[in-house]
């Protein structure tokens, strides 16, 4: 089953339909295989859908995040990027050089479980970004 067929079924079960805007953005993120910014998404979808505006892209991204079909992440510069949901992982981003590492969700599973037990919340965030300074920048002047 393709990415959009699976997501179409998910949306139908929730009472929504798969619009052409949702479909092309999901397909673009799926094909990218990683994170894209809203402007990168716009540049990739514009040739196939020239009438799609930046505002529509932002509204669609917001809808897809709320329906847990895509995950937002923050870059070192504080900008949001998006990727297809499904592979629970987190990010470590260096504030100085922008280097990024993925962290397996398994490393945080017990912490998330404790938070849920102590607060009664059911966590739905499966994509966190931690910012800090990477080992390389720590040894550089001004990196402490």
pLDDT tens profile 21-70: 999 999 999 898 878 999 999 999 999 999 999 999 999 999 999 988 88
Residue 91 has pLDDT above 90, yes or no: no
Per-residue pLDDT, 130:
85
**How far is CA 128 from its chain centroid?**
9
Give bridge partners of residue 102 from the DSSP assignment: 91
Per-residue pLDDT, 21:
94
Q: What is the 3-state secondary structure (H, E, C) of the chain?
A: CCHHHHHHHHHHHCCCCCCHHHHHHHHHHHHHCCCECHHHHHHHHCCCCCCCCHHHHHHHHHHHHHCCCEEEEECCCCCEEEEECCCCEEEEEECCCCCEEEEEHHHCHHHHHHHHHHHCCCCCCCCCEEEECCHHHHCCCCCC
Global pTM?
A: 0.72
Residue owning tokens 């402490």? 144
Residue 1 has pLDDT above 60, yes or no: no
The CATH architecture to which 88-144 belongs is 2-Layer Sandwich (3.30)
Residue 144 has pLDDT above 60, yes or no: no
Domain 1-86 has CATH 1.10.10.1100: no
CB 44 within 8 A of CB 28: yes
CB 3 within 8 A of CB 26: yes
- Domain extents for the chain? 1-86, 88-144
* Structure-model confidence comparison of residues 82 and 124, the more confident one: 82
The mean pLDDT of 83-87, rounded to a whole number, is 79
Per-residue pLDDT, 105:
79
**How far is CA 28 from its chain centroid?**
13
Structure tokens at 17: 């339909």
């Amino acid at each position: 089953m393709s990415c959009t067929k699976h997501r179409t079924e998910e949306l139908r079960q929730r009472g929504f339909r798969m619009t052409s805007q949702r479909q092309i953005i999901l397909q673009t993120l799926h094909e990218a295989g990683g994170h894209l910014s809203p402007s990168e998404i716009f540049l990739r979808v514009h040739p196939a859908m020239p009438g799609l505006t930046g505002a529509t892209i932002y509204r669609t991204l917001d809808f897809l995040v709320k329906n847990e079909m895509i995950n937002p992440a923050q870059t070192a510069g504080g900008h949001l990027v998006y990727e297809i949901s499904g592979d629970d992982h987190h990010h470590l981003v260096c504030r100085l050089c922008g280097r990024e590492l993925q962290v397996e969700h398994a490393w945080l599973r017990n912490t998330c479980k404790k938070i849920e037990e102590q607060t009664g919340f059911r966590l739905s965030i499966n994509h966190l970004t931690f910012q800090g300074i990477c080992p390389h920048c720590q040894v550089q002047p001004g990196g402490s």
